[in-house]
Amino acid sequence: MARSARRRSSPLGETRFSVSLVPAESFREDVIAGLSLPQKALPPKYFYDARGSRLFEAICRLKEYYPTRSEFALMRGRIGEIARFARQGSALIEYGSGDSRKSHLLIEALRPSAYAPVDISADALQQASARLRRRFPWLEIRAVHGDFTQPLKVPMAPSRGRRVVYFPGSTIGNLTPEEAHAFLRMTRGQVGPGGAMLVGVDLKKDANVLHAAYNDAKGVTAAFNLNLLARINRELGADFRLRRFRHYAFYNPARGRIEMHLVSLARQTVNVGNYRFAFVEGESIHTENSYKYSIEGFRALARSAGFTGKKVWLDPRGLFSLHGLVAS
Ligand code: SAH
Ligand code: AVI
């Protein structure tokens, strides 16, 4: 996507793209800093290049990956109540919107005054915006290509009415509790007093169910994890040999999170530009956390960031939650 803002019009609604991009330099700096840590680590936001976004969508279709199906079931079953909570005509801001498929249900029920999807993946954002334009020609779309872990301007005029932030998919679980707290404080400021937030949060559950969801039989999650190294090779001229790394995901009960790692299968060195990194056999790169919350645990986190938990909806199997928060 071009760095300058683009504007496209449709007969009734309109789509505006604005870019608040992660520059290539930050990617290089984050990779070098992460691989220099005693426990090597890479930020999960870099999973989502065009291939990574497609692989994530394939994960959502896997039989083992229950979160997407559960959140859809929840949304379909309770959409009337959810829309009443969010209030018709509000301005809707969505973080980590991806394919925006869950948002279709919400937009239909809510008829927001405007919709601002924010995503780090330009491809996912463009495809989602094109689909939304076809399905909701009346909708004003203000797509923002940007990183929600950095200060970000969302072009939503106050005249658009009450603001509601939508953060589905348990993407909040990919932030540490401290990062999630900072993110919620940022959105608290953005919605203002009386504004609301809808947050999809995966629940703590049997570790075997969690293990299967992040270790699928077809190896799609492994491909998603390894694609991060392929992306570093492609965009930063590194020389990771993908066959020498293995996907490893497990539930850490003490921390209440799934951890994803890439484990070096041999003693080896890897070059990223002028930097060289040594791996011993069995050493890992920590690539993602996916925190799981109890209902009360998430409400306490939201409360500490200035939100009151007013509503919580669960899917019929009780695997996934959607929290309705109001800025206190
Ligand atoms: N909301 C969708 C997609 C969830 S996947 C769903 O519920 O299915 C996580 C999404 O967040 C991806 O589309 C990814 O590109 C985006 N994302 C991850 N980290 C991000 C960041 N730091 N800033 C903006 N978007 C981010
Ligand atoms: C986007 N996020 C909520 C997913 C998750 O479940 O943590 C990303 C993912 N990682 C592996 N599988 C899916």
In angstroms, what is the span from residue 65 Cα to ligand 2's centroid?
9
Alpha-carbon distance of 114 to 32, in angstroms, equals 39
In angstroms, what is the span from residue 295 Cα to ligand 2's centroid?
19
Contacts of 248 (CB under 8 A, 6+ apart): 260, 261, 262, 263, 284
Q: Which of 30, 45, 46, 131 to mutate to test the pocket of ligand 1 (most atoms within 8 A of CB)?
A: 45
Please give the distance of CA 273 from its chain centroid, rounded to a whole number.
29
In angstroms, what is the span from residue 224 Cα to ligand 2's centroid?
10
* Cα→Cα distances 94→2, 83, 142, 293, Å: 22, 15, 10, 21
**Using the 8-state DSSP alphabet, how is residue 218 labeled?**
T
Query: Any long-range contacts for 72-78 (C-beta under 8 Å, 24+ apart)?
Result: 72/102, 72/105, 73/315, 73/316, 73/317, 74/313, 74/314, 74/315, 74/316, 74/320, 74/321, 74/322, 75/102, 75/105, 75/106, 75/322, 76/105, 77/315, 77/316, 78/313, 78/322
Contacts of 7 (CB under 8 A, 6+ apart): 14, 15, 16, 17
> What does the pLDDT look like over 21-70, one tens digit per residue?
656 679 999 999 999 999 999 999 999 999 999 999 999 999 999 999 99
In angstroms, what is the span from residue 282 Cα to ligand 2's centroid?
24
Q: What is the pLDDT of residue 161?
A: 82
Please determine, for residue 12, whether its predicted confidence score (pLDDT) is greater than 70.
no
Answer yes or no: are the C-beta atoms of 105 and 79 closer than 8 Å.
yes
Mean pLDDT, range 124-139, rounded to an integer:
96
Q: Which residue has the higher pLDDT, 66 or 156?
A: 66
Please determine, for residue 317, whether its predicted confidence score (pLDDT) is greater than 50.
yes
Mean pLDDT, range 120-125, rounded to an integer:
93
Q: What is the pLDDT of residue 15?
A: 74
Alpha-carbon distance of 75 to 315, in angstroms, equals 8
Mean pLDDT, range 206-232, rounded to an integer:
98
Q: Which of 18, 75, 93, 120 to mutate to test the pocket of ligand 1 (most atoms within 8 A of CB)?
A: 120
Point out the ligand nearest to the CA of residue 179. Answer: 1
What residues form DSSP beta bridges with 323?
199, 312
Please determine, for residue 219, whether its predicted confidence score (pLDDT) is greater than 50.
yes
Number of other residues whose CB lies within 10 A of the CB of residue 323: 23
Q: What is the pLDDT of residue 165?
A: 97
Across the chain, what does the average pLDDT equal?
A: 93
Q: What is the CA radius of gyration of the chain?
A: 20
Instruction: Please state whether the predicted TM-score (pTM) of the whole model is above 0.75.
Output: yes
DSSP H helices in the chain: 24-35, 50-60, 66-86, 101-110, 122-135, 177-191, 207-213, 220-236, 295-304
Residue type, 251: Y
Q: What is the pLDDT of residue 156?
A: 73
User: Which of 155-159, 160-164, 193-197, 292-296 is least confident?
Assistant: 155-159
What is the signed CA dihedral for 56, 60, 64, 65, rounded to 10 degrees?
A: 90
Answer yes or no: are the C-beta atoms of 215 and 221 closer than 8 Å.
yes
Q: Which residue has the higher pLDDT, 234 or 17?
A: 234
Point out the ligand nearest to the CA of residue 47. Answer: 1
Alpha-carbon distance of 168 to 202, in angstroms, equals 10
Position in ligand 1 atom list of the atom nearest CA 45? 19
* Cα→Cα distances 181→134, 300, 305, 327, Å: 36, 10, 6, 14
Alpha-carbon distance of 115 to 103, in angstroms, equals 10
> What does the pLDDT look like over 182-195, one tens digit per residue?
999 999 999 999 89
**Using the 8-state DSSP alphabet, how is residue 173 labeled?**
G
Please determine, for residue 8, whether its predicted confidence score (pLDDT) is greater than 80.
no
% the chain with pLDDT above 90: 88
